[in-house]
């Protein structure tokens, strides 16, 4: 019983993690893409 519930929790966490990780990386200042794009895109958009 316990092993199945643990595996189910791990499965749910993996699914939620794969959905939330791109959202976190695209929409937060911590994003890797933000650092690379900060030279070009931001200056083009906000100038």
At CA 46, angle to CA 43 and CA 47, rounded to 5? Answer: 70
pLDDT band at residue 24 using 50, 70 and 90 as cut-offs: confident
* CB of 33 closer than 8 Å to CB of 40: no
CA–CA separation, 38 vs 12, rounded Å? 34
pLDDT over threshold 70, residue 2: yes
Number of domains in the chain: 1
- Confidence (pTM): 0.45
Mean pLDDT of 24-28: 69
What does DSSP assign to residue 7?
A: H
For residue 41, the enclosing domain spans: 2-46
pLDDT band at residue 43 using 50, 70 and 90 as cut-offs: low
What burial class does residue 24 get, using C-beta atoms within 10 Å of its C-beta: 0-12 exposed, 13-18 middle, 19+ buried?
Answer: exposed
């Amino acid at each position: 019983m316990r092993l199945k519930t643990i595996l189910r929790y791990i499965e749910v966490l993996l699914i939620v993690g794969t959905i939330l990780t791109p959202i976190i990386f695209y929409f937060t200042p911590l994003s890797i893409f933000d650092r690379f794009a900060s030279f070009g895109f931001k200056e083009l958009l906000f100038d």
